[in-house]
Structure 1
Amino acid sequence: MLFLLIGNSVFSQNNSKGFALLELYTSEGCSSCPPADELLGRIQNEYRDKNVYVLAYHVDYWDKQGWKDIFSNADFTKRQYDYAQFLGKEPIYTPQVIINGKTDYIGSQETSLRNGIKSALSKPTLASLNLEASQNANSLSVNYNVEGTSKNSRLLLAVVQKEAKSNVKRGENANRVLTHYQIVRNLQSVDLNKIKKGTATISLPKNYNAQDFEIIGFVQDMNSGAILGVKRA
């Protein structure tokens, strides 16, 4: 009997395999961001075969401080403000990491971040997601199929550049060469209220190639901000 119980508990854990989606808000204009960028790069490398995913959003509110981040995007700043409302935490700051849309961390604090990943991996996945991508010239067709979503859910599809170096000339990081990881270049939203399967078309950056980029899709509850499931295409 004991053996059966142990067997069942192991089975149920494997069955509800958790995930950790780390969303980093960063900027080339912020001197406390490079340590967070480096840490997230290490985590990405270390957990490559696990259910851990890293997305780095370069916000634009540092762009007025003397250096414009080439990867910055006002949409990512808006996304960070949305999280401030979901989490009830103002003001926004960099480097901020949000795990599974539920908890925020200072992006360079390694111990608390690793504990957050462990905690996220121990919880069951609420939505299952299947993605298949095919490229046509400057765009990508992504077939998606989602199960187990909440009422007000969206599928978000991120085009991610795995790595880039930047030679920063001015601002808080003047005269430094910075390495960035998992840079979100485009984030597209698909409404899941009516249809849970279909095809989305994503425009690709000019330097896109399958080796240096990847597509990460995730389902988010737009009432609470919680991430319900995530998958690489």
Structure 2
Amino acid sequence: MFKQACRLLTLFSLFTSPVLLASDWQAETSNKHLVVMELFTAEGCGLCPPAEKWVKQLPDKGVTNEDIVVLNFHVDYLDEKKGWVDRFASPIFTERQKQLARLNLFQTVYTPEFFISGEVLHDWRAHGLEAIDFVSDFEPEADIALHAQLAGTTLSVDTTVTVQDQENREHSQVYLALTENNVLSEIRGGDNAGATFNHQYLVRAWLGPYPVKKDGTTELKTQIPIDKDWKLVDMSLVAIVQNMENGYVLQGLALPLKD
């Protein structure tokens, strides 16, 4: 009898394991405007560790994930200048920084550089918290809903966006990102040789832009492959809606991919 029960349990596990391996997450924005902070950094940049540390300490200063969405982009233009190749850097991330610079009417980029909901922040030490608090008081101008399902190594994402105001509808686009926390990296060259980074909000994937329909609504279905080296429990799916005429980020949403 015991052996028969064991065989039944084994058969039950085989038939149910595909269901148990699938994960499902969803979230949607509220009537609160979430600040979207984009940090552009590089492991070869000697001035960048304090900026990353400042971001990591934001919860200690009263700024939590209920107030802000953070994207930490690693750029590639320092790889040949600092004697250290940043394995997290991408030309796609560099282009994002240049795009934001152009929207702010600047021709140069640098590290570390912060943008708060699309606007460049020149002195993050002195004015960072003030800028976050200021933008937090704005009314949200878009609504976002995210639904993500993981099957195997593919994340299937359903994104629904509704944009208010006709001008926003004419100029807005949607971007998606995957970020990861607690990514350790030992630096053996460049300005930070000998240091160990613990990267937070590290952008692993950046997708878009996706257009917004004339009536202000958008429904996207996206497939994102998950690399075997990524720790899903430390990852979040991020969506932002940005007016590409003036650069202002209308709303953001981060969906943690953990049970």
Aligned with 1:94 (options 105, 111, 130): 111
Report the CA distance between 1:219 and its aligned residue.
0.9
Distance of 2:186 and 2:232 partners within structure 1: 25
- Encode CA deviations 1:2-33: one digit per residue, 9 max, x unaligned: xxxxxxxxxxxxx8522211100000000000
Q: 2:238 corresponds to which letter in structure 1?
A: I
**Contact 2:35-2:251 at 8 Å conserved across structures:** no
Task: Give TM-score scaled by structure 2 length.
Answer: 0.78
Change (3 A) 1:190 1:81: closer
Change (3 A) 1:202 1:38: same
- Encode CA deviations 1:32-90: one digit per residue, 9 max, x unaligned: 00000111111157533422111100000111121001100111111111111100123
**Contact 2:84-2:188 at 8 Å conserved across structures:** yes
- Taking only the aligned residue pairs, the percentage that are identical comes to 27
Aligned with 2:201 (options 182, 193, 212): 182
Q: Which runs of 5+ in 1 are unaligned?
A: 1-14
Report the CA distance between 1:213 and its aligned residue.
0.9
Bigger Cα displacement from structure 2, 189-198 vs 141-150: 189-198
3-state SS of the aligned residue for 2:233?
coil
Report the CA distance between 1:196 and its aligned residue.
0.8
**Contact 1:44-1:52 at 8 Å conserved across structures:** no
Aligned with 1:167 (options 174, 179, 186): 186
Distance of 1:111 and 1:95 partners within structure 2: 15
3-state SS of the aligned residue for 1:63?
coil
**Contact 1:165-1:177 at 8 Å conserved across structures:** yes
For residue 214 of structure 1, what is the aligned residue in structure 2? 236
Q: CA RMSD in A?
A: 1.8
Report the CA distance between 1:174 and its aligned residue.
1.1
Change (3 A) 1:147 1:224: same
Q: Which runs of 5+ in 2 are unaligned?
A: 1-29
For residue 171 of structure 2, what is the aligned residue in structure 1? 152
Q: 2:128 corresponds to which letter in structure 1?
A: L
Report the CA distance between 1:232 and its aligned residue.
1.8
Aligned with 1:42 (options 57, 62, 65): 57
- Encode CA deviations 1:112-145: one digit per residue, 9 max, x unaligned: 1000100010111100101111112222111111
**Contact 1:140-1:204 at 8 Å conserved across structures:** yes
Distance of 2:121 and 2:96 partners within structure 1: 14
Report the CA distance between 1:222 and its aligned residue.
2.1
- How many residue pairs were aligned? 217
For residue 130 of structure 1, what is the aligned residue in structure 2? 145
